[in-house]
Amino acid sequence: MKFISIFFGILAALISVTKAQHNIHWTLHPTCYDRPGLADLLKASMIMIKDRYTSVRDTLRRPRSEWSPELQATVDQLIGTGQYGESALQIVLSLYDMFDVLKATPSGRDHNSSRWRTVKAESADRMFLNFVIVCGSCVKITSDQPPIYYDEIRGLQSDDPYWQHPPWVWNENYPGDYSSVCDTVAVTSLEPRETLDENLVPINPDRRMFAQSINLSPPHLTYFETSVCGIHINTPERIQQVADVESASYFATMLNGIDDRRLLSTQIDLLSTGLDSLIAHEIFHTAAFGMLEDEDEVTGVDEYGWNDIITYRNIGTPDWHLYFALTVHILTHHGMRTDISGAIHRI
């Protein structure tokens, strides 16, 4: 219950800040238009994410007497039962209220467009709740001797190339081959916790004027472009395809053997490869959605994939929210139940 009370305190503060702002804005960086079709997929992903989480919230706010046995079982296996489970569920649904105020701001192929400048002016010291999705480097070298790196989105400058930035930004020699890069698929760049107050607001007023960035790894985008599946989102057709596979290993073969346990372990993990799933995970790292961390604060385990989610049932990690919404969504919209092993069954 200690975790519940701490998490609820942070959440209440964020809800207060966000409601005062009215909207959480997002936009695309120009790099997302460099790959054919990627910007459209990202926009479709964001619409899908918002619809999915608000639908899940509305479904679970109905009286439990109206829930099907399958829905009850799906929720219980991921969140627990009794007073803890009910308290945790109410926190989760309150967090999903944030999706009501998540708004797209057309970028005009430029996050410095007039529309985004208007967002900056209107958001003022709440700009840190907004975010830009980046599909390449948003960092410029402003000096050669020594090299000085400047993040044009977050207004940060440093002579340390790894300070506050995704690792792939700094090495232009990556050949785009998955085996040659780190395992990081995406990074959400935001203010360090030690620079925030108890409500997760930057202590330095100047830092409140900068948006966060969700940075997608260019090498991984290239890898998925060249895989059998390509860069994709979890459309109804895709969900039906995943439900039809007999084992995760079959799909792993189609993906050319990516060494990632989130892709290899269970059938429901196959839905985590969608671009919408990747972005949804990163959204829960942002300040407006709780600044959740992958590492369990109690066990110290980085929790990714179905097996970790079902083992720890920790609502404080982004992947928990990814899988919780996915399993409720495919049940209520597609008639598919996910069992404790991660296998998907039509009902």
Number of domains in the chain: 1
DSSP H or E run through 22: none
What is the mean predicted confidence (pLDDT) over 104-113?
Answer: 72
Res 251: pLDDT: 53
Identify the pLDDT of residue 200.
Answer: 83
**pLDDT score recorded for residue 267:** 87
What's the pLDDT score for residue 178? Answer: 40
Using pLDDT thresholds of 50, 70 and 90, give the confidence band for residue 15: low
**Between 38-60 and 318-334, two packed helices, what is the crossing angle to 10 degrees?**
80
Q: Please, what sign has the CA dihedral across residues 135, 295, 25, 114?
A: negative
pTM, full prediction = 0.89
Residue 56 in contact with residue 48, Cβ under 8 Å?
no
Q: Are 314 and 303 in contact (CB under 8 A)?
A: yes
pLDDT at residue 33 tops 70: yes
Highest mean pLDDT among 134-138, 177-181, 226-230, 332-336: 332-336
CA atoms within a 13 Å half-sphere pointing along the CA-CB vector of 288: 30
Which token pair is 242? 């995943």
Q: Contact at 8 Å (CB) between 26 and 289?
A: no
| Mean local confidence (pLDDT), 227-255 | 75
Query: In whole numbers, what is the pLDDT of the chain averaged over residues?
Result: 82
Structure tokens at 51: 């619809």
Q: What is the pLDDT of residue 177?
A: 43
Written in H, E and C, the secondary structure of 260-310 is CHHHHCCCHHHHHHCHHHHHHHHHCCCHHHCCCCCECCCCCCECCHHHHHH
Sign of CA dihedral 245, 254, 78, 24: negative
Confidence of residue 261 (pLDDT cuts 50, 70, 90): very low
> Is residue 346 predicted with pLDDT exceeding 70?
yes
Output helix, strand, coil percentages for the chain, rounded to the nearest 5: 55, 15, 35
Q: Work out the pLDDT band at 141, boundaries 50, 70, 90.
A: confident
How far is the C-alpha of 249 from the C-alpha of 270, rounded, in Å? 10
Residue 44 domain boundaries: 2-346
What per-residue confidence (pLDDT) applies to 161?
56
Rounded CA-CA distance 109/296 in Å is 38
Cis peptide bond upstream of 146, omega within 30: yes
* Those residues with Cβ within 8 angstroms of residue 83's Cβ, 6 or more apart along the chain or in another chain: none
Q: Tokens 């895989």 — which residue? A: 227
Q: For residue 13, what pLDDT is reported?
A: 52
Half-sphere exposure of 226 (CA within 13 A, CB side): 11
* Nearest residue to 184 (alpha-carbon basis) of 255, 297, 262: 262
- Per-residue pLDDT tens for 189-212? 888 888 888 778 899 999 999 999
pLDDT on residue 250: 53
Q: Which of 78-92, 236-250, 256-270, 292-306 has the highest mean pLDDT?
A: 78-92
Residue 174 confidence (pLDDT): 43
| CA-to-CA separations, 2 to 8, 122, 298, 309, 314, in angstroms, rounded | 10, 37, 11, 20, 13
Q: What is the band of 240 on the pLDDT scale with cuts at 50, 70, 90?
A: very high
Inform me whether the pLDDT recorded for 246 exceeds 90. no
Q: Looking at the predicted structure, is the pLDDT value of residue 134 above 80? A: yes
Predicted confidence (pLDDT) per residue in 42-63, tens digit = 999 999 999 999 999 999 999 9
